[in-house]
Chains A and B, each alone.
Chain A
């Protein structure tokens, strides 16, 4: 299966606009960008994709070995950049995909010309002199819950087949399905995500970078965003007046405005 099909790559937006590669994190698929997509698409060229197994994307080519480290996901992004011959592309990564974007920029320095890190965290577990927001025991509990609440996670990740007469625009197939992932794949992704430590990679960033964080975020608290900003030379930090870990959903206008202002496109 070729790269475009494997990752359900979708290209949309303004043909001559700045090029953005939008990467979703652990949890849902490319639909995470739904509310910002129409705003960004007016002036930017957008490339959206899924990591293998996300939202019912094909899991062909998935292996626990490749995807147990963030580098495997970064290789995917690099492959998409090469396959579509993307040049001068700004990688917009949400959550763990922010750090995956940092790694991908290192793999394709001639193609990636900027980074937007949305609610990034280079390490979720607290360490000496570093507060990630979670203790090792917390993360062990999460991973254990993925194991013990296997059916809970898998039921949550299976699409709920139900019509949605009030909001037909969502369509039946969309209901719950975009947050679906085979629990075996989700476990490996969760492990790769929450046990990662990419702090040393921050200093390697050599492209203009925007860090976008929320004022209140239970997964990537503001001090983590500040840490990322401090450790990426010349980066910009924007704190959105938003709650939660997904500002592209809870505050789509603000999020899109910050991205557009960074890439120099007018809304």
Chain B
């Protein structure tokens, strides 16, 4: 192996001898200050940028004198504290005041310990950053456009979501109702839905469910499900038959290679004196709760119903229910019982039962309000959307 040629050795030695020249003419600004900021050395490159002379600055000026006011405040409030605590900072974007305006720069600095008795120094390297700043400007512009686009999508999603939920529940004589919907995200339409609607013969239909998926596909499926349930309900008084009808419609979609399914509780109610009588059917949905007037909480026996639209000839479960004044039926979606609480464990059905137990007896509006507050408390732990629908006989003296 050959050693370096004589010419190269000479070049290296020559460059070492010219280290002062390198300092002055380096392709970046170099600056040393005392801990109080007083400049003790500054190179020609930096002096050229700011249009000053060494005589003006060395021993007299401070680094912050070279900065714009914004830069100076940025320095005093951010960089100086960091230097004091970390001993170094890297890549701060600042602006120098120059004869012609401002020059964007990137600054790194390190505190070097004094040798023995001498004071320590702060050494700065300053890079010109005009190109980077204009690139940042473009990035910022792109980000603002992306933000605007996102807002537009959120507005669309919100409007679409609103069309899938009743703007307000209808007034039902002798009955109190309350509902709440918590969207998982402002960007996407969720898959939870509910409705209350009039049927012939002083009867009322109601449902609450959850379609598979999110976004536009879920919105279309929700729309299909709602209208199918409403039209089937008008023709058939038996809730199980209504779900069977829905299943047939969804299964057709399924056959087109487009799996669509949902879970839902559908019911029909009528008033009987002060009481409310209802028949419920469930397809794979978490069973509703009844908060009784005496403070007890029942789980409605609807266990065993299968998903609607997912399996051939699914089995749906049916339950008859009688609510007296003070009782409240609560339907909810699994967003509620799958939320993560305190960053870990899932909020489970047992937790909900305990919560309802502490709440009972309570009218529909109070139940929905309390659980809505619980959902808000979950914060980021709630990653799915969640819907609530509560129904009970009108209490004596209740408004309406």
Q: Which residues of A contact B (CB under 8 A)?
A: 25-28, 31-32, 34-35, 95, 134, 138-139, 141-146, 148-153, 155-157, 160, 164, 167, 170, 174-176, 178-179, 194, 216, 218-219, 243-246, 249-250
User: Which residues on A sit within 8 Å (CB–CB) of B79?
Assistant: 156
A-B contact pairs, 26 of them (CB 8 A): A139-B69, A142-B69, A142-B70, A149-B70, A149-B133, A151-B93, A151-B139, A152-B94, A152-B136, A155-B93, A156-B78, A156-B79, A164-B86, A170-B85, A170-B86, A176-B86, A176-B89, A178-B85, A179-B77, A194-B73, A219-B73, A243-B35, A243-B36, A245-B80, A250-B35, A250-B84
Expressed in whole angstroms, the minimum distance between the Cβ of B198 and any Cβ of chain A is 43
Contact status A156-B86, CB under 8 Å? no
User: Which residues on B sit within 8 Å (CB–CB) of A149?
Assistant: 70, 93, 95, 104, 133
Expressed in whole angstroms, the minimum distance between the Cβ of B130 and any Cβ of chain A is 13
Contact status B70-A175, CB under 8 Å? no
Contact status A25-B77, CB under 8 Å? yes
Binary contact readout B197-227 vs A (1 if CB under 8 angstroms, 0 otherwise): 0000000000000000000000000000000
Contact of A243 among B37, B68, B89, B139 (CB under 8 A): B37
Contact status B77-A175, CB under 8 Å? no
Considering the complex, which residues of chain B in the window 108-141 have a beta carbon less than 8 Å from any beta carbon of chain A?
133, 136-137, 139-140
Binary contact readout B65-92 vs A (1 if CB under 8 angstroms, 0 otherwise): 0001111111011111110111101111
Give chain B's interface secondary structure class.
Answer: helix
Contact status B81-A246, CB under 8 Å? yes
Query: With A and B bound together, what is the CA distance between A176 and B92 in angstroms?
Result: 11
Query: With A and B bound together, what is the CA distance between A150 and B70 in angstroms?
Result: 12
Size of B's binding interface in residues, CB under 8 A? 35
Contact of B80 among A35, A148, A164, A244 (CB under 8 A): A244
Expressed in whole angstroms, the minimum distance between the Cβ of A179 and any Cβ of chain B is 5
A-B contact count (CB 8 A): 110
User: Which residues on B sit within 8 Å (CB–CB) of A32?
Assistant: 81
Expressed in whole angstroms, the minimum distance between the Cβ of B92 and any Cβ of chain A is 5
Contact status B80-A145, CB under 8 Å? no
Expressed in whole angstroms, the minimum distance between the Cβ of A33 and any Cβ of chain B is 11
Contact status A157-B78, CB under 8 Å? yes
User: Which residues on A sit within 8 Å (CB–CB) of B228?
Assistant: none
Expressed in whole angstroms, the minimum distance between the Cβ of A256 and any Cβ of chain B is 15
Contact status B93-A138, CB under 8 Å? no
CB of B154 within 8 A of chain A? no
Contact of B84 among A152, A164, A249 (CB under 8 A): A249
Query: With A and B bound together, what is the CA distance between A174 and B72 in angstroms?
Result: 23
Query: With A and B bound together, what is the CA distance between A34 and B70 in angstroms?
Result: 26
Contact status B85-A160, CB under 8 Å? no
Contact status A145-B87, CB under 8 Å? no
Contact of A219 among B37, B77, B104, B139 (CB under 8 A): B77
Contact status B90-A142, CB under 8 Å? no
User: Which residues on A sit within 8 Å (CB–CB) of B69?
Assistant: 134, 138-139, 141-142
Query: With A and B bound together, what is the CA distance between A142 and B85 in angstroms?
Result: 25
Expressed in whole angstroms, the minimum distance between the Cβ of A59 and any Cβ of chain B is 13
Expressed in whole angstroms, the minimum distance between the Cβ of B167 and any Cβ of chain A is 28
Contact status B70-A146, CB under 8 Å? yes
